[in-house]
Amino acid sequence: MSPPAIIAPSILSADFGALGQACSDTIAQGADWLHVDIMDGHFVPNMTFGAPVVTKIRPHVERPAQGLGRGTFDCHMMIAEPKKWVKDFKKAGCDLYCFHYEAAISSTAAESPEATSEKKTSPKEMIRYIHDQGMRAGIAIKPKTDVRVLDEILESEIKEEVPDMVLIMTVEPGFGGQKFMPDMMSKVQMLRQKYPELNIEVDGGLSEATIDTAADAGANVIVAGSAVFGAKDPREVIGKLRQAVEGRR
Ligand X SMILES: O=C(CO)[C@H](O)[C@H](O)COP(=O)(O)O
13: which DSSP letter?
A: G
Kindly list the strands in the beta sheet with 6-9, ordered across the sheet, starting from the edge strand earlier in the chain: 6-9, 221-224, 199-203, 165-169, 136-141, 96-100, 72-78, 33-39
Region of 146-154, 167-175, 192-200, 234-242 interacting with ligand X (CB under 6 A): 167-175
Q: Is 107 annotated as a binding residue?
A: no
Binding mask 67-106 for ligand X (x = CB under 6 A): ---------x------------------------------
Query: Do the beta carbons of residue 141 and residue 169 sit within 8 Å?
Result: yes
Active-site choice (37, 74, 95, 164): 37
**205 annotated as ligand-binding:** yes
Q: CB-based contacts of 10: which residues, under 8 Å, 6+ apart?
A: 35, 37, 176, 203, 223, 224, 225, 228
Q: How far is the CB of 176 from ligand X (least distance, A)?
A: 3
How far is residue 176's CA from residue 16's CA, in Å, rounded to a whole number? 14
Identified binder of ligand X from the candidate list 126, 203, 237, 238, rule CB under 6 A: 203
Q: Which residue's CB is nearer to ligand X, number 131 or number 142?
A: 142
Judged by the rule CB under 6 A, the positions of this chain that interact with ligand X are: 10, 12-13, 35, 37, 76, 171, 173-178, 203-206, 223-227
